[in-house]
Structure 1
Amino acid sequence: MIKKLLLIFFACVAIHVSAQTSGNEIYPVAFYNVENLFDTQRDYTIQDEDFTSEGKYKWTEDRYKQKLNNLAEVISQLGREQNKDGFAILGVAEVENRKVMQDLISKTKLSQTNYQIVHQDSPDARGIDVGLIYNPKYFKVISYKVYPFTIPGSSQTRTRDILVVSGLLAGEPFSVLVNHWPSRRGEDSSPLRERAASICKHISDSIYKANPAVAIVIMGDMNDDPKDKSTSIALGAKKEMNQVKAGGLFNTLWKIHESGKGTLCYRGEWNLFDQIIISESLLKTGKSNLSYIKSEIFSRDYLFQKSGKYQGYPLRTFSGTNFLNGYSDHLPTLIYLKKGKK
């Protein structure tokens, strides 16, 4: 009788494990520019003087903790409608260092989940980096590497590295490239972002060439919209799935932006800088066992200003130097993946 019960038990376990990897599970993958997540300590190697208690923003421990808790409230909800555990992978931009990322996952409500982080300091003059938060239940990190932004013959530009993290999502080979491309400063800064896009494409092409079955996700604050030259031409991310050839890229948010939606608002117009672009391997024609389902902008009501000059804009941390106790000037974006037959 005991032997029979044990056989039934192990059969149930096998069925449960199989369900975890058979396509019944949805894997949310997200990106969020968290807008100037600085600690309160002065770091004389970067330009962080405004984010100290004596600085322009009067950045105290209390304000820092409020910022962490506000971000944690948003992050804790990402992907939860499709997966009870929330997101599997979250790329972030505008984090000062590893400490603020560690504080975010350990000193807020996010500590209830066993999130892990990947971070490496970049040469950005302001000291803002990109990073990755992931749930090890779904994503196993095997390796990571940063690729610097370089311009041949020049050493003047100091900006964010591209963070490449490779591993297994639901047991399938997966690589994510987290970006924060040069900002829109100067009369014509587009060539800088086109250069960043070309570096990103070279990385993506190399990963695909090594293994055409690997799922590749390129995410980040591109400081450009999907139709702009950097993403549509230099990176080559297409608007339509049927335009994507073997080894190509699909921009999951292009059509959403065409419908009038965006992730940040400037002078009354919505931009969609926070893009998530996927490899052909995730489409029906691709070789990955993971497949793309849909994308969205995470735009809940509490994330918007309710009154004043910027009513309807994302509720950010500061307006000028006035502390609004908000979240970010950007909205998060997500895609949803599944495993199984396409």
Structure 2
Amino acid sequence: MISNRIILTVVVLLFLSSSTSTAQEKRFAFAFYNLENLFDTHHDTGKYDWEYTPTGNKRWTKDRYKKKINNLAFVIDKLGKPHCPEGITILGVGEVENKQALTDLIRNKHIAKRKFGFVHHESPDARGIDVALIYEAKVFKVLSSKAYPLNKIKNQQVRTRYQLLVKGVLNQRDTLHIIVNHWPSRKDKRNVEQRDYAAKLTKRIADSILQSNTKAKIVIMGDFNDNPDNRSCRVILNAKRNKTDVKKGGLYNPMWNIYKKGIGTYCYQGWWNMYDQFIISESLIAPSGKNKGLAFTKAEVCRFDFLLQKQGKYKGYPLRTFSGNIFLNGYSDHLPIVSYFERR
């Protein structure tokens, strides 16, 4: 009798383990996170990064750098859970200085066990901040990558981030094209035109992929420094608010309806902006359940309580690393976003 009970218990445990494993294989979480000035402590020749050195205005010491790395890794470890028990598979990042900072991040104790890899191309950005794609190597195999520069605008050279295209295979089944962005900032009103040019570049990249394969699965992610209803996203990318409005070969913006609920990723003067967004190709939408392959299910802004300031003038805002030159030991001035996909 006892031996039979033991056998039954083992069978049940194996079944539950198999079910959990199967669910994880079918569900995937992708994220984007603007890391807000993840610089190492060394000056890079030709870059305006002096304030993020030990003798700079930020007093950017190894201790502060390690705290920043640890804080970000702590957040990354929690993204995508509990819907995807192991967490995220893909993470696009913005405002990271170089390969050393990325290496230190993925080797941090909070996420080292995930054995993440990354794709990064050094860009001509004046401050030296780039975009990159971090991925779980056992689930996502990189096939190729390419950096697209934002070329001259009205004969003026723009020293800004590349747009990063990564092609890879998810779980040995689905070929994905991921475009990681960080468009020109809003500090200069003239940058509106630059963001429009950035949107045109993103659209060209996506269109070129779709011309080769009309069923290509494309995920565009990044900090656009524009909202879903701004011209760059609404008109140039023509990313639709509702799935039902997306035509063959079109794009869908799942962040738009979230934004209209008053939710955002970046707070300025009390107003939440949805600068960080996912835009996905029609091939990843399954409104009628007919798509039996990989399909988008939902997106969200991650508003973990610890990511927000608890008091003071900026109560409720993202808890950033610095306020001016005062070290707050926070995370980022942006909140991370996550999108979920599953195989049907």
Shorter-chain TM-score above 0.5: yes
The 1-side partners of 2:222 and 2:292 are apart by 22
Tell me which amino acid in the other structure corresponds to 1:322.
I
The 1-side partners of 2:25 and 2:33 are apart by 26
The question of whether the paired residues in 1 share the 8 Å contact of 2:153 and 2:194 is answered with no
Tell me which amino acid in the other structure corresponds to 1:137.
K
Query: Aligned in 2, Cα 1:247/1:65: closer, same or farther, shift over 3 Å?
Result: same
Note the residue ranges of structure 2 that are not aligned, 5 or more in a row. 1-13
CA deviation after TM superposition for structure 1 residue 215, in Å: 1.2
Note the residue ranges of structure 1 that are not aligned, 5 or more in a row. 1-11
Q: Deviations over 1:84-122 (max 9, x none)?
A: 221010000000001100000113321121111111100
Tell me which amino acid in the other structure corresponds to 2:283.
S
* Alignment partner of 1:207 is 2:209: yes
CA deviation after TM superposition for structure 1 residue 288, in Å: 7.7
- Per the alignment, residue 186 of structure 1 pairs with 188
Equivalent residue for 1:323, pick from 324, 327, 335: 327
- Per the alignment, residue 84 of structure 2 pairs with 83
Equivalent residue for 2:232, pick from 230, 254, 268: 230
The 2-side partners of 1:108 and 1:222 are apart by 31
SS of equivalent to 1:76: helix
* Alignment partner of 1:308 is 2:312: yes
Q: Deviations over 1:208-267 (max 9, x none)?
A: 221223210000000000000011111111101111101100001000000001001001
- Per the alignment, residue 221 of structure 1 pairs with 223
The question of whether the paired residues in 1 share the 8 Å contact of 2:73 and 2:108 is answered with no
Tell me which amino acid in the other structure corresponds to 2:335.
L
The question of whether the paired residues in 2 share the 8 Å contact of 1:281 and 1:288 is answered with no
Tell me which amino acid in the other structure corresponds to 1:104.
L
Q: Deviations over 1:160-208 (max 9, x none)?
A: 0000000111311101000000111333421111110011011101112
Q: Deviations over 1:112-160 (max 9, x none)?
A: 2111111110000000000011112221111111100113552421100
CA deviation after TM superposition for structure 1 residue 287, in Å: 6.4
Deviates more, 1:111-120 or 1:324-333: 111-120
CA deviation after TM superposition for structure 1 residue 44, in Å: 2.2
- Per the alignment, residue 5 of structure 1 pairs with none
CA deviation after TM superposition for structure 1 residue 325, in Å: 0.1
- Count residues in correspondence: 328
- Per the alignment, residue 32 of structure 1 pairs with 33
The 2-side partners of 1:190 and 1:111 are apart by 39
- Per the alignment, residue 154 of structure 1 pairs with 155
Deviates more, 1:283-292 or 1:156-165: 283-292
Q: TM-score, normalised by structure 1?
A: 0.91
The 2-side partners of 1:152 and 1:304 are apart by 38
- Per the alignment, residue 56 of structure 2 pairs with 55
- Per the alignment, residue 295 of structure 1 pairs with 299
SS of equivalent to 1:92: strand
The question of whether the paired residues in 2 share the 8 Å contact of 1:238 and 1:250 is answered with yes
Deviates more, 1:93-102 or 1:38-47: 38-47
Within a 5 Å distance, the mapping from 1:256-295 to structure 2 comes to: 256-284=258-286, 289-295=293-299
- Per the alignment, residue 336 of structure 1 pairs with 340
The 2-side partners of 1:149 and 1:204 are apart by 15
Q: TM-score, normalised by structure 2?
A: 0.91
The 1-side partners of 2:31 and 2:184 are apart by 21
Tell me which amino acid in the other structure corresponds to 1:172.
D
> Taking every aligned residue pair, what percent have the same amino acid on both sides?
47
* Alignment partner of 1:248 is 2:282: no
The question of whether the paired residues in 1 share the 8 Å contact of 2:307 and 2:331 is answered with yes
The 1-side partners of 2:247 and 2:201 are apart by 20
SS of equivalent to 2:111: helix
Deviates more, 1:206-215 or 1:66-75: 206-215
